[in-house]
A and B are shown apart, each in its own frame.
Chain A
């Protein structure tokens, strides 16, 4: 079978390596740092029900609820399946709740109207000012372990995974990509790897990878700030019942509460500044929903760059769709043998992989059905015992 080279060891690359090995392809994946060292590990850990997008981004909402259901069955050990609430604390919130309820139903998201009393019975830490709530099937993800489930399974099935290996060049001959040039930071050596097709799955860094082949892709890095505070004060995910904005979510994760998030646009995916004013605004907004998080000590604050698809027509950064797209550069730029996978989010990595692998099959003339919807993933722990196709064992380096 064809040899597919994946650039990027985040959630998208992990899910794609899994899908392609199940379909019988030979897979090599290269990541410049440790696996999941980019955006993947750093997201706030929400398994979206889709409700956050239902009103303004129906496509993303439908993708989310479908994948939400699938991930619960194929990787249950990486999820806390406790549902989520959208809470109204003002009359404006309640007005938005009317359209939210309708949009959730139209998107196929199970939603239940709760009185303020019922919401506070479920989650006693909610503000006494809560007016009403909607219950939706959100859940909490362990971001690293979910990605490692995909990597463990892909590796077991023969994928060759190479962390600490950065792409330095893309080789082409006669308008066709023939392979890549890789710098292995562990050996300090550069090597050439031949492949039949290269997939750019570098997320927010996809622009840099595509540029190596002289291709401009519409990637728009969109960093945001997240804050982990000490103490788990709710079990359900708490969202603000209003249009997507700053400080509208609290995700319980272990003994911590993760507060999110802000959004700005940048050209540099490594521009992950941590603006002090974002931290205070997010904490302020989140404590309007759950006052206890405003008093809790901060364990950590960090930023992560979302891999948005450029959309100059969006009214605000929050309105940019969170869907994903595969670009076959034979079609977009006349360069055969390279695909870029842009956009998407942790909740939808499996679907992103399916669509990309479908495209690869079409290009290669295969009709091999996708099996990732029903294939249970191996435990992340298996990553550390799976037989490795990565050459010399990592065990005794």
Chain B
């Protein structure tokens, strides 16, 4: 089904054009199209200078996080038909340095995520499965695609805040499930540091916006329970 849509996109080139402004684009699109499809249509048909990040188009790379009508979401899996009629507003993820328009620099996101923390974990067991010869265990990629939506939605993290944020704490808790012995203590120390779980105010926005069901708030609660041993419920 076709629909006429009106998009309001925040345009800004830090250091070049200092004042942010909203620009409106009118298009007729299929309602099955994703917001990313629409951005590509604008870039190829109306304005090649529009900046945004994208890669996989199916929520596996995590590059196209942005605010869609004020909510942190992935452009590639947000369909036009899911959005209420009326103006669609697109803005970059808040709390990250802006590269331009909708593109942000993800450097701060990785600050507290260990470079060596593993990105693979055991795959879910399915009944009757015997492993093929030569394979110790089936493995799969983690659910967290490092898109930054949770960090953008978190009222405590971002900008100059010392809080390491929900993604780093979820990754840390994931890593804790995989390591043994003397590797445990430094991770717990990091989680319990002045930049760690104590700063979470349990708004749960992180879990609400996560596009791949990582539920960072649950990981933070796990860490809190483990660190304080008091089993408070969040």
Contacts and interface: CB of A to CB of B under 8 A. Distances in A.
B109 A255 contact: no
B54 to A, nearest CB: 5
B55 A254 contact: no
A121 B128 CA distance: 6
B16 interface: yes
A41 B57 contact: yes
B141 A142 contact: yes
A135 B63 CA distance: 34
A33 interface: yes
A304 B143 CA distance: 24
B113 interface: yes
Of the listed residues B13, B55, B113, the one surrounded by the most CB atoms of chain A closer than 10 A to its CB is B55
A397 B15 contact: yes
Nearest to A144: B61
Of the listed residues B16, B34, B98, the one surrounded by the most CB atoms of chain A closer than 10 A to its CB is B16
A25 interface: no
A397 B60 contact: no
Contact of B100 (A81, A112, A186, A253): A186
A348 to B, nearest CB: 19
B115 interface: yes
A173 interface: no
Contacts of A82: 123, 135, 138-139
Contacts of B130: 121-122
A228 B61 CA distance: 13
Contacts of A304: 57
A232 B123 contact: yes
A319 B97 CA distance: 47
B49 A34 contact: no
B199 interface: no
A397 B14 contact: yes
Contact of B63 (A34, A235, A379, A381): A34
A222 interface: no
Contact of B124 (A122, A226, A232): A232
B113 A381 contact: yes
Interface in B107-125: 107-111, 113, 115-116, 118-120, 123-124
Contacts of B28: none
B115 A185 contact: no
A373 interface: no
A299 B110 contact: no
A166 B43 CA distance: 13
A382 interface: yes
A124 interface: yes
A235 B62 CA distance: 22
Contacts of A45: 60
Contacts of B212: 254-255
A253 B60 CA distance: 8
Contact of A80 (B16, B59, B141, B143): B141
A59 interface: no
15 contacts: A80-B140, A121-B128, A124-B127, A144-B61, A164-B51, A228-B59, A232-B123, A236-B132, A255-B143, A255-B212, A256-B58, A378-B115, A381-B113, A382-B115, A397-B100
Given A45-B60, A164-B99, A187-B13, 6 more contacts: A121-B130, A124-B126, A228-B60, A300-B59, A385-B107, A395-B107
Interface of B: 13-16, 34, 44, 48-49, 51-63, 76-77, 97-100, 103, 105-111, 113, 115-116, 118-120, 123-124, 126-135, 138-143, 145, 212-213
A-B pairs with the 6 shortest C-beta distances? A41-B55, A144-B61, A302-B57, A228-B58, A300-B58, A235-B138
